[in-house]
Each structure stands twice: as structure tokens, then as C-alpha cells.
Amino acid sequence: MLSLFLTAFVTFFVVIDPPAMAPMFATMTQNMSDAWRRHMAWKALAIAAGIILAFAFGGAWLLAQLHVTLDAFRLAGGLLLFLIGVDMLFEKRAERREERAEKVAAEHAAHPEREDDISVFPLAIPLITGPGAIASIMLLFNEHQDALSRTVVLAGVAANFALCLAAFLLAGQISKLLGATVANVLTRIFGILLCALAAQFVVDGIIGAFSLRAS
């Protein structure tokens, strides 16, 4: 169970990237009050948790309605996660996130009297629960059907959500502590790990698809 927890934790740590949330949250909320920042942090995580749980327990039903096999989803999910990993290696993902954060900050600066609600977009979607997180929870739940294993997977997700909350509440301090160099190194290391995990999903999907055809 420890290995499963580590797999779930690392997968979601790479996909969500909690350390990178700190500078983005600081940028988006730089002109907001402390109380509103805390409200946005808690609300965004609550919405993200609801989305993750919905796809965790309803994802298989959705695939069945669309007549998509689990092996096809493994292939598609693996390819999607691989592309995210490549983006992390070449800093494309970070650039898009920073641009989105700066856009939100600029809009708030233009209307400083208004406390914008950024909890749903862009915090909950797509920064916390983007396509990669949704694909990951569906893949892991499809791989592990028993209640104990699924609880362990959700524990890995919850640990990452806790890190996101810490990143939101301590955004300023974390940004100064990490610095640009450390953040870049971590991004590339986890990008490689995500590519490896994604490749495994693709391999499992191919093996499963061909096994079904052979039978």
C-alpha cells in the first residue's frame, strides 16, 4: 500500500505541481485582502476536491456511456500526461500558467475596488484539476478497484491538496524560499518522472488492447 500511496502522491504532485502554485497565487491575489485570499484558497480546493471525486467515482460510468474502453482511455491519458511532462521539461507549461496568473492580476489591478472570485477559474480549473489530474484519478481508480486501494489513492491526492493549501496560504514566503533556480530544477526532474509514468500507462493500454483482441 505504501508503494501505491507513493505512486498516487508523485503522480498528482507532478501533475498539480503545488510548489508552482505559490508564485502564481501570489501574483493573482497581490491586491486582495488577506481574508479574501484565504477564502479563495479554501473555496478553490473544495471545488477541486468535488471535481476529482466526481471523476474518480463517475469516470468509469462516463466512459461506458461514451463506449470508450479502459485500454483506450489508458492510451489517451498516458499520451496526455506525456505531453504535460514534455511541456514541463521545456518550461512551456510554466509559461502558460504564469501568463494566466499575470492576466488575472492585471484585470484585478484595473478594478482594485472589486474582489474577484478566482476560485473556480483559474484556480480549481485548470490549475488544480486540469486534464492531467482528471485523467490520473480515472486511470488509478480503473487500475485499483478495491476500497482500500482507492482510499490510499485518495490519500495521495489529499496530501497534494494539503500542499496546495500551504502554498496558497504561504505564497509569499515559499516564492522567496524556492527561488527561480530551484523551481526550474524541480520542474524538469518531475517532468521526466511524469513522462515515465505516462509511458507506463501507454504500454499497459497497448498490452491490454492486444490481449483483448487475441482472446
What is residue 175's predicted lDDT score, i.e. its pLDDT?
63
- Tell me which of 23-27, 57-61, 167-171 is least confident: 23-27
Condensed to tens digits (0 to 9), the pLDDT of residues 102-158 reads 676 676 666 554 557 888 888 898 789 987 899 899 989 988 989 999 999 999 999
Query: Is the pLDDT score of 82 beyond 80?
Result: yes
Query: Which 3-state string (H, E, C) describes the chain?
Result: CHHHHHHHHHHHHHHHCHHHHHHHHHHHCCCCCHHHHHHHHHHHHHHHHHHHHHHHHHHHHHHHHCCCCHHHHHHHHHHHHHHHHHHHHCCHHHHHHHHHHHHHHHHHHHCCCCCCCCHHHHHHHHHHCCHHHHHHHHHHHHHCCCHHHHHHHHHHHHHHHHHHHHHHHCHHHHHHHHHHHHHHHHHHHHHHHHHHHHHHHHHHHHHHHHHHHHC
- Tell me which of 15-19, 86-90, 186-190, 210-214 is least confident: 210-214
What is residue 94's predicted lDDT score, i.e. its pLDDT?
62
Q: Is the model's pTM score more than 0.85? A: no
